[in-house]
């Protein structure tokens, strides 16, 4: 399956979501992107199963976990996040992306919709870090691997009250911090791409997003580790139902992405570390996407000019 075929899926989602940029309505952007992403997947010659999507069937009418997509053909498992960073789009902030990962059947961990403690780094540091090491130990080995002082290592962390201690530990270790409001998939991937200025991603975020980030880092040769952090007994039960006997297990790359053939595609909605956002002009738009495949270790940046059909203007009621 050519990963390039899937770029039109994230492009469609990004174009739909970008029309909602800055309107303050996170659900509008998400709804529009979900619908277009699903339509585009259903036009493809695949027998796809959504393994990470908008949620369980009862709470998500479209792109729910287990939904079948495509017109028939090669069997694939698909993980999607039509708008990674809905708040970012709603507020016109950087780093929102439309994301998709695809593998052969059974290639991705079916992550429960709970939290996950995460650690992401680029290829050079990947062999040396561990989720259970202390923050200062991890930052020391990253600095060593990158042959730079700890003071020149930048850690990206979601700006949340739960990360207060983590932030203090990173500062105590002497590293720099970039706090982000949302969008930890983008941040994790940025650790493995030169020129983003980010070397480490730490902290707790959504578990499904963890699998998406791991898929991208697998393509880039980066490192990713996670551990489920259920917030209550119900989430523990759900994780066990999904096959997690040991909820506290450290999830390594091979647990999250169980295959050597994974493709990862993302299209920028707003400008970001990985991709530029959607830009409209006259009767068209330009999208910027990143397409990667783990087998041939290629990373392609694809710029596409879309000629859009004229749409009726939105009337205010």
Residue pLDDT tens, the chain, 317 long: 688 999 999 999 999 999 999 999 989 999 999 999 999 999 999 999 999 999 888 888 999 999 999 999 999 999 999 999 999 999 999 999 999 999 999 999 998 889 999 999 999 999 999 999 999 999 999 999 999 999 999 999 999 999 999 999 999 999 999 999 999 999 999 999 999 999 999 999 999 999 999 999 999 999 999 999 999 999 999 899 888 989 999 999 999 999 999 999 999 999 998 899 999 998 899 999 999 999 988 899 999 999 977 655 555 55
* 235 and 137 belong to one structural domain: yes
d(CA 261, CA 221): 13
Residue 314 domain-assigned? no
The Cα angle at residue 137 between residues 132 and 138, in degrees rounded to 5: 70
Secondary structure (DSSP) of 67-102: -EESSSSEEEEEEEEEEE-HHHHHTT-S--EEEEEE
Task: Give the max Cα distance, the chain.
Answer: 60
CATH number at residue 216: 3.40.190.90
* 242 and 283 belong to one structural domain: no
The Cα angle at residue 161 between residues 160 and 167, in degrees rounded to 5: 80
Residue 36 domain-assigned? yes
Residue 271 domain-assigned? yes
Residue 145 domain-assigned? yes
Residue found under tokens 């040769």: 221
* 99 and 128 belong to one structural domain: no
* 37 and 56 belong to one structural domain: yes
Which of 186, 235, 242 is CA-nearest to residue 209?
Answer: 186
CATH number at residue 54: 3.30.540.10
* 120 and 246 belong to one structural domain: yes
d(CA 136, CA 121): 15
3-state secondary structure of 35: helix
Q: How far is CA 140 from CA 151, 179, 233, in A?
A: 10, 20, 36
* Phi-psi category of residue 228: left, alpha or beta, with phi > 0 → left and psi -120 to 50 → alpha: beta
Residue 119 domain-assigned? yes
Residue 317 domain-assigned? no
Angle, in degrees to the nearest 10, between helices 26-42 and 7-18: 150
Q: By the 8 A CB rule, do 37 and 82 touch?
A: yes
Residue 62 domain-assigned? yes
* 120 and 232 belong to one structural domain: yes
* 198 and 120 belong to one structural domain: yes
3-state secondary structure of 286: strand
pLDDT of residue 112: 87
* 96 and 119 belong to one structural domain: no
* 122 and 252 belong to one structural domain: yes
pLDDT of residue 211: 97
Phi, psi of 175 (to 5 degrees): -85, 170
d(CA 285, CA 304): 8
Domain interval for residue 213: 115-256
pLDDT of residue 311: 58
Number of domains the chain contains: 2
Residue 8 domain-assigned? yes
pLDDT of residue 317: 55
d(CA 182, CA 160): 10
Phi, psi of 199 (to 5 degrees): -110, -25
* 21 and 129 belong to one structural domain: no
- Percentages (nearest 5) of helix, strand, coil residues in the chain: 30, 30, 40
* 142 and 208 belong to one structural domain: yes
pLDDT of residue 57: 85
* 96 and 122 belong to one structural domain: no
Q: By the 8 A CB rule, do 169 and 83 touch?
A: no
């Amino acid at each position: 399956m050519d990963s390039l075929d899937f770029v039109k899926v994230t492009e469609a989602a990004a174009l739909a979501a970008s029309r909602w940029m800055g309107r303050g309505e996170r659900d509008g952007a998400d709804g529009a992107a979900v619908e277009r992403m699903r339509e585009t997947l259903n036009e493809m010659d695949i027998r796809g199963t959504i393994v990470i999507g908008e949620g369980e069937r009862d709470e998500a009418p479209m792109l729910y976990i287990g939904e079948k997509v495509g017109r028939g053909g090669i069997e694939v498992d698909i993980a999607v996040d039509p708008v990674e960073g809905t708040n970012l789009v709603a507020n016109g902030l950087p780093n929102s992306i439309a994301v998709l990962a695809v593998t052969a059947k059974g290639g991705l961990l079916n992550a429960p919709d709970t939290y996950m403690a995460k650690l992401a780094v680029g290829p050079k540091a990947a062999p040396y870090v561990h989720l259970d090491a202390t923050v200062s130990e991890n930052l020391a080995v990253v600095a060593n691997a990158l042959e730079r002082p700890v003071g020149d290592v930048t850690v990206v962390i979601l700006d949340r009250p739960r990360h207060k201690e983590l932030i203090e530990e990173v500062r105590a270790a002497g590293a720099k911090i970039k706090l982000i409001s949302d969008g930890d998939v983008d941040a994790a991937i940025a650790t493995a791409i030169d020129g983003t200025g980010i070397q480490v991603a730490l902290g707790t975020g959504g578990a499904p997003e963890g699998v998406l980030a791991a898929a991208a880092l697998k393509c880039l040769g980066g490192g990713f580790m996670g551990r489920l952090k259920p917030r209550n007994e119900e989430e523990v039960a759900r994780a066990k139902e999904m096959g997690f006997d040991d909820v506290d297990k450290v999830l390594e790359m091979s647990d999250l992405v169980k295959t050597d053939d994974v493709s990862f595609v993302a299209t920028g909605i707003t400008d970001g570390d990985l991709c530029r956002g959607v830009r409209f002009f006259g009767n068209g738009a330009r999208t910027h996407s990143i397409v990667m495949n783990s087998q041939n270790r290629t990373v392609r940046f694809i710029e596409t000019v879309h000629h859009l059909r004229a749409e009726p203007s939105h009337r205010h009621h």
